[in-house]
Amino acid sequence: MSLELLIQAGGVYTAAFLVFHLSFWKLFRWKTELAKLTSLNRAIVQVLNLCLTAVFAMLAYISLVHAGELLSTDLGRTLVVLIAAFWYLRAIEQVVFFGLRRPLSIAFFVAFVIGGSLYTGALL
């Protein structure tokens, strides 16, 4: 597998999480569940999710359209390291906040490590 293809696979992977995060309102019944929060906390949760979704869109686009540049420039390689670090940090947060006692939590942990590995693998 070419290194550019690994970056592009990372872009597809990141785009999948974009779609997943857009489904949070329905998937987690946010209309009723977030209504239990104060208006400030309800707004914070939704704004953070939308901002994260925008970050996923940007990272997916950069990975899919500019894979070659990500691998051939210092700035690009730095960005690849930071994207990998993002996914590894998310894996750590999975353990800290959700634990690894349920199969779904373990699956998400593995998925986040895979995300980091796609980008790390492109740099090796």
Single-letter amino acid, residue 21 = H
pLDDT exceeds 70 at position 99: yes
Contact 60, 18 (CB under 8 A): yes
Half-sphere exposure of 34 (CA within 13 A, CB side): 18
Write down the pTM of the prediction.
Answer: 0.92
Average pLDDT, the chain: 97
What number of other Cβ atoms are within 10 A of residue 17's Cβ? 20
pLDDT, one tens digit per residue, over 23-73 is 999 999 999 999 999 999 999 999 999 999 999 999 999 999 999 999 999
Q: Which residues of 60-85 are buried (b: 16+ CB within 10 A; e: fewer)?
A: bebbbebbeebbeeeebeebbeebbe
Instruction: State residue 124's pLDDT score.
Output: 85
Instruction: State residue 1's pLDDT score.
Output: 63
